[in-house]
Structure 1
């Protein structure tokens, strides 16, 4: 074990800027092949992004929420699916930091390990046997599985002596079956395949009740006291992913403005699109929506970091607002994307112009259960009205 020098937020963002040509050059290949190009994965690994939520004692950085938002934003400006794979690994490695030290010793033997995860059990069940449980079932849409080393699985324990309950455990992807079924209209490069366990034995001591992970209850003897583990699981996850939609919206803004010089508005007398008041109105409206989306992303990060630094208990409205902020950032990013895409003209439908690909990726991203604007807003509204949130994922 070793403790690596922890790079600053600015240094990590600069590292992404330096590998930007690699990510951009491989983006279309990744879409066509429905996985991240190995050059992209190596560049991200060398930049240290997979270490950001790994405990420092293993050479990780234990990066804060503001850093995750900044780095996810920067990667998403290059390719949203790449940022999603990275953020999913952040969520998984964070959760693994709550596990017994022996489990962490194995998984984090390589501090650059890539871990994919799910927070739902799919069809997986765990039957108690001597010394552990046997897991059978499958999990759909596991992002990052094709380039990952481990998956954090969830399964429902079917205990004849008590009520069923979910557990979580890291499993080597080599021990799981993969179904390459991710044929989609968006986020094609996110490596979101199906995985399955067949009579997989998991020993006692290698799994935790999911409720412990959700409430940041650590059983680690060496990792106690880190501010990174103070926030609830869903709030920490919200900070991991919220920068992605903002970065994707920014990429559309930049592409639109890059293509603007020399463009005209067909069937009008404007000599240049940039001279038309309708263009000014569209650009201003979309840019302000991106600013608003960034506000919500930064508020999630500030809430997570400030509560962690103060080591204060979380109020339910704060937890619900984190989800609401994620939904608001997504809604505003989508709205800005629609404006830029709608003003990009018929030429933007060609695959050589990435505008429609980015819009499709953003729409696919918005369909994830933790990103859906209306559902997230409803949860927050219920809490503000004095009701229970109607979900355990808060």
Structure 2
């Protein structure tokens, strides 16, 4: 599994500084300018961006590796890498006119999002009039554009049943600073507010077309990366960073016990402590491996020119939820065996443990919908809920 890339190496070259800045990110409740600059200069957000607009158009498993490694250094930077970096791929599915508007002058332009259909898009000549408020737009302070979701109404305000994603420039929305949280505090996941902004048709994508793999961007972005199912790629952005964070919790717990052994090499922890550390290490490793394996299988099919099969797509959804369970369990076990030092406000172990639990609450990381849909697929082959 290839996990090396110049963009990842550039961040790891200043790994200590990225970790040092995490505390300031948490205090400021958003990425520091220096953290954002490190990610921007490295080109991390361009890993799965179209090559024709300055991106690397890399194997998506490399993007997974970037999220994982950066989240081990900084929860804030790792989370924002995922939920902002994946938008560079999503924009590649839009018409070329939209891509050119965002990246034509600066290929390092970032896009935040809030995909919940919390807005209303009223049909007007040439596009839509959009109004709404959306929460949880991570990294938005460092982004020049945003994706938001909305339900469509006709000119008279009647719901059509159509759901869309819309792309807006920074001039068309405001950011409401509401992000005060117990976990992932440094991600700047504030609210987006829009009041009667006009969005032209080329910056709107029907969600049914998105889930059906009907991508306008394929007229210019013809490589296998842009023939991947949207959901199969997107889900990694909100679970792989949690795997990196959970790995950090396990490493911090192990580090506490290593420091004790340095004083008295004969004083190994209690066997139950060693067993929990073993289980936690296994759970994190397994979660990351299954995520990479499923994404790798999907990308290999796209490279061959094949459709990504229903079993791969359904397995990816099932294992995404399984991975969330595994990394949360691992973080909990590591926190349990970290000892009294774990509860200190200055201890990274408890801080990152809270970040893992906060990320678990992302809507896509909740198990109820996916578990029952996969169970129905397992018994009947029904495609209900398949994206």
Secondary structure (helix, strand or coil) at the match of 1:200 reads strand
Q: Residue 68 of structure 2 aligns to a residue in which SS?
A: helix
Please state how far the C-alpha of 1:372 moved relative to its aligned partner. Answer: 2.4
Could you say which residue in structure 2 is the equivalent of 1:93?
88
Q: Unpaired segments of 5 or more residues in structure 2? A: none
Give yes or no for contact 1:101–1:221 (8 Å, CA) kept in 2: no
Cα distance in 1 between the residues matched to 2:43 and 2:259 = 40
Larger % of helix: which? Answer: 2
Q: Which ranges in structure 1 are unaligned for 5 or more consecutive residues?
A: 1-6, 265-269
What is the aligned partner in structure 1 of residue 298 from structure 2? 304
* TM-score for the superposition, normalised by structure 1: 0.90
Residue 316, structure 1, aligned to residue 313, structure 2:
no
Residues 224 and 17 of structure 1: CA distance in aligned 2, closer, same or farther (over 3 Å): closer
Whole-angstrom CA distance in 2 between matches of 1:338 and 1:183: 23
Indicate how the Cα distance of structure 1 residues 8 and 249 shifts in structure 2: closer, same or farther if over 3 A, else same. Answer: closer
Instruction: Tell me which residue corresponds to 2:286.
Output: 292
Q: Which stretch shifts more, 204-213 or 49-58? A: 204-213
Once the two structures are superposed, the pairs formed by residues 101-140 of structure 1 within 5 Å of their partners are 101-109=96-104, 110-122=106-118, 124-140=119-135
Query: What's 2:360 paired with?
Result: 366
Q: CA deviation at 1:24?
A: 0.6
- Whole-Å separation in 2 of the counterparts to 1:324 and 1:252: 24
Distance 1:77 1:131, change over 3 A: same
Q: Aligned match of 1:209 in 203, 206, 211?
A: 206
Counterpart in the other structure of 1:180 = 177
Cα drift, residue 167 of structure 1: 1.9
**Superposed CA RMSD:** 2.3
SS in 2 for 1:323: helix
| Aligned residue in 2 for 1:3 | none
How many residues align structurally? 381
Deviation sequence 1:287-328 (CA, Å, 0-9, x none): 111222122222222122112112222333322211111111
Contact 1:137 1:197 in 2 (8 A): yes
Provide the C-alpha distance between the structure 2 equivalents of 1:148 and 1:274, rounded to a whole number of angstroms. 48
The correspondence for 2:188, drawn from 191, 194, 199, is 191
Shift of 1:121: 1.2
Using the alignment, how far apart are the partners of 1:239 and 1:345 within structure 2?
Answer: 32
Aligned-partner SS, 1:196: strand
| 1:77 and 1:248 in contact (8 A); partners too | yes
User: Cα gap change, 1:348/1:128 in structure 2, threshold over 3 Å: closer, same or farther?
Assistant: same
